[in-house]
Every structure is written in structure tokens, then in C-alpha cells.
Structure 1
Amino acid sequence: MQTSKNHFEAKVIFNDETIRRMFRTEFYTYEGMQRLVWLAVAFALVMLALFVPIPTVVKVLCLLVGCAMFAMPDFLSRVAAEGVIMQRGGAESTVSCRINAGGVDVENGAHIPFDQIDRLVEDDQYFYLFQSRQMAVMIPKGSLLPANPERFAKVLAKETGKDWQQPKSLWGLNLKDLIQMVKDRFHRGES
């Protein structure tokens, strides 16, 4: 079945959990500035509740909403994921893909050449090949054939010319991430 040393195959089962994970990863990968605004609003609400002389009911509301925003920085991705899950009605589907010298071929007929892959993202269980914010291929490390995630990651990095990223929560950001968010925002504004 294997035609070359750089040929891989995988299957992903899309269920409620994988859909939530995909939306969360997409959000953490592409919505950096939105996450910072979310944090700023949460901080402002908490500061308003603690330091501004306003009615107690308004203080409590500001404090509750601000703390909830701190606790759920990916709330918007959760809402989007739940919308898709409701549309699917709990149905599961399996999607196969094949990675070879020509790029990524998905079972539904989609083909993504390596030069059209925008980002490579990896977490503990999956690889994500983002063509755009709205189009990605999710590859479970456990279903990868041949079962060599390290070689797969090296081949994709070489073929695409991109480095692998980790999805980062709001609390895991550093200066390099902030600079990349600003660049992404300006790049998206030009398109």
C-alpha cells in the first residue's frame, strides 16, 4: 500500500469531542487579537467592579461576567462548535486522508498542495494542517500509517517550509506569540 517513504494515510472520526477540539485549535491558532481583547474586557469588568463606585448589583454583574470571561477565554469557539454539533445531531463520520508527494488528498475530493498549507499545528493527540482558518485537515497521531508521527512531522515541515506550532491558551502566550498575532492581523487586513 505504501508507495514512497513520504506517503502517509490516516482516518479521523468526527464526533462531538473532535469537533470541539478542532474549533478550539482553530480559535487558538487564528484568533489571537480577539483573545487579547477578550482578556482586556474581562480585566476592565473586574476592575470596574472592584474600584468604581457603582451600585452593588452592577458590581456583582461586572465581577461575575469578568470572572466568567477569564475562566472561559475560548467561549466563542465553544459556541461555534456546539452549533455544528447541534446541526449534526450527534452523528459521527469518518474521513480518510492521504499525504503523498502531491500534497494532501481528502476522501471528499479535496486536494491541498503543500504550498497552500498556511499553518502546521500539533497537540498531544492530533496534527492539524490548516489551509485557511476555515479549512483544515485533522490527523490523529494514533491512526497515522505508517505509525511514525516524528517522521510525518519532519516530512510536512520540509514539504511546506513551515514550522509546527502548538495551540496556546490565553495564559500560555509569550512576546513572540503577541508579535505573530499583530502580523496575522495586518496580513488578514490586507487580504
Structure 2
Amino acid sequence: MSDAYGFLAPIYQPLSRLVFGKDLIEANQVFSALAYGKNILILGGGDGMAYRDWDGNFFGEYWDTSSKMADLARRNLGKSEIKVNLGGWPGTGKFDAVFLPFVLDSLPDEDIQIILSAISNALKPGGKVVLSDFFPPKTFLQSSIQKLMISGFRTFAKHPRTDLPDFDRFFSSGDWRLLDEKTWRKGWIRTRVYGRMEDSAH
């Protein structure tokens, strides 16, 4: 199995804190209450650092395609009841909440459509999707940093994108409704909570 993003494992946290401070960690933690006592799914959770304080009241599944990141996640999630899996999520299981921590921006549009459809099918009634990711930059500096990050990922990790996904388009279909949102860096970094439209009709 390819470990394209494995080179980031030992340097991800220092590099992230250098550029973003604690913003990325906070973005992944801000809606942790939605996971408490629930069966959850974390896709592409990287090293799991944002969840290292989770205890036995947090359970479910974690999936990442990087063996090095998964190894770090096993340590950081060791106090929880979350099972760390290496590979791509097979689309099975039923969950109360699905966390997408800065992962969709590493997928081509067609894969995003497929995975969101699978997530919709895997959500229990009333289930939530927590999306943390980058949105259109608000300043020249942000735009420059974003271009540098994408260029670096394309060079070293065969990153498939040259831009950010249009999250508003993916989540503006009849399947989803926005329930809550927190922002950082003037809205460049956002965490959004979505529910399924069909649940609001009940």
C-alpha cells in the first residue's frame, strides 16, 4: 500500500504549529462533544493528535491510508475505544457521527462524491458529519501559503489536486443541511457540522 503522506508523520505537528499555531488542532477538537458516548468514524485522521485526550467514552473506527500516521494515531488514541485501521474505509458500519479532519482536500472531486454518498448511507438517523478543512483564502498571505502547500504535496506526495474542493457545492445538494460552523483565520479554516436533509423531515 502506498504511503504517499507518510513523509509528513514526523514533521507534521511541528510544521503545522509553525504555520498555523493551534488552529488546526482546535478545528478538529471544537465539536468533540458530538463524539462523546457515540459510535463514530474518523476518516483520514492523520496522527490523531487532536483526539489524544479522548477516554473510554469515545469509541468507533479510525481509518488512514498512511501506515506511519496510523502508528502515531494508535498511540494518541490509546486511551479511547477507537479502533485504528490502516487502509481505505470500506464503506461499512453505522455511525452517529463522521469526522472528516482535513482529508477531503486530498481527494479528487469524483472520490469526494463517492465517499459522501457512502457516509450518508452509513449515518444513523440524526447522525452528523463534522468537516474540518481549508476554504478559499482571505488574504494574499493565505493564498501564498495555500499554493505552497498544494505544490509541496503534489511534489512529494503525488497530491491529486491543484485547488481546493468546492465544499459548498458538494454539501449544497438536497442531501445535506448546515447545522453549525466555527471559523479561524477570517474563515480560511472552518469546521462545519452537517446533518442529512431527510432527518429534518422526520
Q: TM-score, normalised by structure 2?
A: 0.27
Give the number of the structure whose alpha-carbon radius of gyration is greater. Answer: 1
Asked which structure has the greater RCO (Cα within 8 Å, sep 6+), the reply is 1
Greater per-residue strand proportion: 2
Greater per-residue helix proportion: 1
Q: TM-score, normalised by structure 1?
A: 0.28
